Structure 1
């Protein structure tokens, strides 16, 4: 059997993986989306399912006002003596040379929670990892950020002991490595094997020069020697490879002694732009140990494989996810996130009108505070999303509909609104790097009780559609470019991926509601 990459498709970066007994778990970053952190589960490393979102209370994670591509960066999972540990960063500011961020840890006796209230750790940098040594002591590793002029922003990996009884870091802070000439050293993960402490690092930046580098030491605080044939993994200098941005690894060992590394990757649009609206995804590679005690890709070389030998484990499939969500459950499924704020009855309800998702309009799509949006990742370059909405706006400040959303600056929005001339009508809003535009075509839907909305994604293109009955469909607006919904569009430095969402705005403050009957996500 083969594992087919990516294993976690769509926006699922910064994978941190652990095995507990026969179960494998991966935590990935969620940035400004709530609940924070997405944990995935597998029993065979082949088949994966989204399992839980541990940071589901504002007391654990307050994202109001965080910038786009701020919020939760690079969570790390670990396990020791019956307790799961989850480290996470909340980036509340990322303007200019500064990184305003705060690092925390939460714990749980079950991977599905409930997770504890957060313990504050430090604010010196991001990508922190808690290592549990065999003597019972615990150490926190993280990269150190240096904003000063003529300094490397990525100022090396530091460590400090963590005291679980006192619930705080104690003792001196020590710089253990400044990385290699690949630069941009971050993402430390620490493992102990055969008398060595192995330090796995992300280097080269999370873009096309990304890489995974291994170091080792006889003491947890170093000195760390560099793998003489570093990095283990990279696609730098191979722009033709289907899995770009390969790096930021995390290690797994099966009960049979087989070793694997999960890592970031990115599948790009076929137009040569280098853009990926799917965001950074997670793949897995099989590893082998050399006689000298270093890890290498089992396939040879440094390039990731699209198909990887599966471990010698029983196959374990999960039930297939239905294409349609009829909103019949008492809560949104694990696939759904809201933007910065938790879902609550003040603005999102599955109870007020059973079988419908009711959204009460709040702030605009440019807001960093209180948006009424529920959205899910897209996983494929060929997919379609569809919904049906009942909505009766009476003012131009009231809007609701179907959004393809990268962030507050870049999105496409097929919305229902009202104006003095057309009355109730459909139109498309485009935000390109924060530049607002309304496309010329506007369609009157005066008197329609229900309106069906659809978006079809085919590689580089996006086309919106609408219907009165859900059977006969009409296109609206031109063919749009999916590259706008990507990390590096026009040189922007962002880190998420495209979500398809349902949203409502009422900028006048009256919180007019829209009722969504269902949501379909299907791959073509």
Structure 2
């Protein structure tokens, strides 16, 4: 019997939507402001997983320029029916304050690898939309409804409406079928049908430590829905001994041999801060159905090791830790912020064998950043690159960035100083406050190249530099990697934390030219090496 080791999708991979098509399993996860939109992972045994693609690759499908931090793609739902893959997603334009602008769309494809269709607009009443294919051929959309009014429950319940494939739009009445349990913050609805019951799975408690999976059921899709007497069916709340915290936001899959598994969101807090710099990750638990028809987690809690299904092992080749940028396409693990790759600002052709980035706006921008980065997927990681850059102004910078969002990042960069000439320095942004930790800039005048390294060890980040890539020197103090996390990004008002950060740590290369001259930098390689 195989063993699943959680998380199955480490690093920033939240809100899993899992399906099986014949002998293949797929999970779609949220990508928020990172482009391309939605990650799709593939497995044949529920143990070994590989990233295979991103459905939202065109600006016509997803235009996030100007979207706020942690806006963009929330909680996609992947489904399959009669030869067609369906992907529902939300493009969140704003989410700070009382209002949320949440536009929900549908794209389809006959092949999981695409191409995916142009989007069909559905509604904007709330987020976490999900499509259910009933056995009579009808299709139904459920999503949570956001209520901005004073004195109201902002998580206002779960709306149901029919989707007409022929008309390519929602049709018929809209009904609030479930207002949640006493846990509150009801979201992430998924409908399932088993033994003449419609089962409505939701997430409650918020996506931090009180997160939970709850279940309700009804003989009619319109309700009323009775709640599981043992809700929540999964949570890590008040269980500090568990490695996997924040358990919630789940979706179900049945194997070809009749076994049931729940893919769900988790976080692994750093100590002592309790912050999760790897973001919200995906784990999976084995399930069974009780005699009275309720879903139960085998073992009861979110476990690191889980009994796998009776399926043959299927491993994938490991990816190379070093990218020499010799391809004409960027590696699948790299992402940009908000906008697709365009030759105007990023090129693998301008200087073959190098990644060329043209400087644009600052790391504070939500419009035109020249930044290419990948997820941090382990607590102990070494990252290395080398940059060729000839700055002529302090407004021109290029280097290695450890990034959460526009307000939280660390940046080891080459720039220019009137006294030092070409120089190297670190700047940090913590909740928007700018600083230059350490002893200040040093001159690297006359260097054609500068090698840059970041060593991540749980809560510690140490930058280093080298002239030749052989002899390395530490640069700056040990920095607090735990600030690159959801928890640190959250807004605190009168001692109350308001969840505003939903992504995770990325590390990569970027260039800025605040003078508008679009000075470019060339990166010859990028090494991402996990030590765990």
TM-score, reference length from structure 2 = 0.97
Q: Aligned partners of 1:193 and 1:307: how far apart in 2?
A: 27
Instruction: Check if 1:450 corresponds to 2:449.
Output: yes
- Residue of 385, 394, 397 corresponding to 1:396: 394
- Residue of 353, 356, 360 corresponding to 1:355: 353
SS in 1 for 2:264: strand
Question: What is residue 478 of structure 1 aligned with on the other side?
Answer: 477
Q: Aligned partners of 1:93 and 1:239: how far apart in 2?
A: 33
Deviation for aligned residue 1:438 = 2.1
SS in 1 for 2:123: coil
Equivalent pair of 1:88/1:105 in contact (CA under 8 Å): yes
Q: Aligned partners of 1:15 and 1:156: how far apart in 2?
A: 21
Deviation for aligned residue 1:320 = 0.5
Instruction: Check if 1:518 corresponds to 2:517.
Output: no
Q: Aligned partners of 2:525 and 2:22: how far apart in 1?
A: 38
Deviation for aligned residue 1:441 = 2.5
Q: Aligned partners of 2:409 and 2:183: how far apart in 1?
A: 34
- Residue of 477, 500, 504 corresponding to 2:507: 500
Deviation for aligned residue 1:490 = 6.6
Q: Aligned partners of 1:305 and 1:413: how far apart in 2?
A: 36
Which is worse superposed, 17-26 or 437-446?
Answer: 437-446
SS in 2 for 1:19: strand
Question: What is residue 19 of structure 2 aligned with on the other side?
Answer: 18
Equivalent pair of 1:441/1:476 in contact (CA under 8 Å): no
1:93-104 superposed matches below 5 A? 93-104=94-105
Question: What is residue 293 of structure 1 aligned with on the other side?
Answer: 293
1:157-176 superposed matches below 5 A? 157-176=158-177
Q: Runs of 4+ in structure 1 displaced over 3 angstroms?
A: none
Deviation for aligned residue 1:215 = 1.0
Q: Aligned partners of 1:490 and 1:80: how far apart in 2?
A: 39
In the alignment of these two chains, the number of paired residues is 521
TM-score, reference length from structure 1 = 0.99
Question: Which structure 1 segments of 5+ residues have no match?
Answer: none
The Cα offsets for residues 303-323 of structure 1, whole Å up to 9 and x where unpaired, read as 211000110001000001111
Q: Aligned partners of 2:252 and 2:328: how far apart in 1?
A: 37
Question: What is residue 238 of structure 2 aligned with on the other side?
Answer: 237
Q: Aligned partners of 2:23 and 2:72: how far apart in 1?
A: 32
Question: What is residue 148 of structure 2 aligned with on the other side?
Answer: 147
Q: Aligned partners of 1:224 and 1:95: how far apart in 2?
A: 32
Deviation for aligned residue 1:442 = 1.4
Alignment CA distance shift 1:209-1:348 (3 Å): same
Deviation for aligned residue 1:95 = 2.1
Deviation for aligned residue 1:239 = 2.2
Deviation for aligned residue 1:491 = 4.2
Equivalent pair of 2:355/2:524 in contact (CA under 8 Å): yes
- Residue of 368, 371, 374 corresponding to 1:373: 371
Question: What is residue 30 of structure 1 aligned with on the other side?
Answer: 31
Deviation for aligned residue 1:222 = 1.1
Question: Which structure 2 segments of 5+ residues have no match?
Answer: 492-499
Equivalent pair of 2:286/2:297 in contact (CA under 8 Å): yes
Aligned CA RMSD, in angstroms, stands at: 0.8
Question: What is residue 494 of structure 2 aligned with on the other side?
Answer: none
Equivalent pair of 2:55/2:114 in contact (CA under 8 Å): yes
